[in-house]
Amino acid sequence: MPGALSDIRVLDAGMMVQGPQAAALLSDMGADVIKIEVPVFGDQVRYVYLSPDDRRSAFFSACNRGKRGLTLDLRTPVGAGIFRRLATAADVVISNFAPGILEGWGLGYETLAELNPGIVWAAASTFGPRGPDADRRGADLAGQAAGGLISSIGYDGEPPSPVGATIADHIGSLNLAAGILAALHARERRGRGQRIDVSLVGGQIWAQASEYTHCLMTGEQPGRSNHGHPLFAPIYGVFETADGWIALLNAAPAANDAFLIALGHPELALDDRTDPENEDPAAHEWFAGILREALRKRTSAGWCEAFSGLDVRYALVRNYPDVIADPGAWENGYFAEVTDSQGVPHRVVGTPIHMSDTPMAPGATAPELGEHTDEILREAGYADEEIEGFRKDGVI
């Protein structure tokens, strides 16, 4: 079945993660996404290798599967002219250069909108297109740091630490995709595209909207995570078991007594300090100590059995191999086995979105550098002789 965006063409001039992952999501939705890379070198994330002996890139594969590959040097007048021709037949342009770079090459929104009023021009940056830091370059770690996320992670009295995933890039990519989809919907009513701007810092602030609102209301930093969340206590955190770790997300008030019985402390049902509505920090700290001691006495599997059937929200702390081994993750399409054009199967991260009438489908592989260059330029009306000339001049 055709995807929801099967009639949409995207020019993905992004690099690394933030822009390309947004384009990959649109590709999963059925869009024809053209990955544009500088000739010879390509996207720098291609060189984040699996290991010194394995020159594949997980980052490039994850963010560019299902796309067609075109090499094109946008810094040259000829390359910029080819891009403008491609843009006349495109619906979306995605980039995550520093603000002003595409404009300097004659590829800004105003220029492309004159050629194609329906174009949706979507730009992702680190600090946003305005303000004193607009021209600064950055990447995921800068977004985590400048957006305040790192200050919330870890334990009181210890150095801050970033998240072990490119979370600022991922959140930025989702915001970029959301803006593009809204702009395409608005175009159906207004007949005109528009400019979209998102940033790593803006995405991090949005992702912490509740915590930032707490700070806006009180003037205070909520605090460090300390194995849980600074604004939820005491049964909200990660606790050690006899053989691993388990996350507890509170028991429903009506299930509190059953939870205490399962914990091995039925006598605490009469102690006001275990009341879910008790807001005394000293009571929270005391009860957290009880929880830590009790939960170390059984295995993780034992606690899952003890909490089964109770209105207690919990989850084992799993590593990546654990998650990949979960049948439910495959049944829900969060991982998938897909076949490439040569019939070779690949295990890939699937899509987290399910659509009943226009199902999403992850691509099997990312394109080789410039793999579809000739094909795409022929579609744009260039003759083979012109294409060969571009290649000799280093434009493609």
What pLDDT does residue 366 have? 96
Q: How many CB atoms lie within 10 A of CB 277?
A: 7
Exposure string (b/e) for 155-165, b if CB count within 10 Å is 16 or more?
eeeeeeebeee
**Considering the entire predicted model, what is its pTM?**
0.93
Catalytic residue chosen out of the listed positions 32, 140, 169, 197 = 169
Predicted pLDDT at 281: 85
Nearest to 5 by CA among 355, 254, 350: 355
Domains of the chain: 9-207+366-392 (3.40.50.10540), 228-317 (3.30.1540.10)
Q: Catalytic: 169?
A: yes
- How many whole angstroms separate alpha carbon 61 and alpha carbon 47? 11
**Per-block average pLDDT, block size 10, for the chain (396 residues)?**
93 97 97 98 96 95 97 97 98 94 96 98 96 92 96 92 95 98 97 97 97 96 90 86 92 82 91 82 88 95 91 92 96 94 92 93 94 97 97 96
At 175 the pLDDT is 98
Q: Is 325 exposed, middle or buried (0-12, 13-18, 19+ CB in 10 A)?
A: exposed
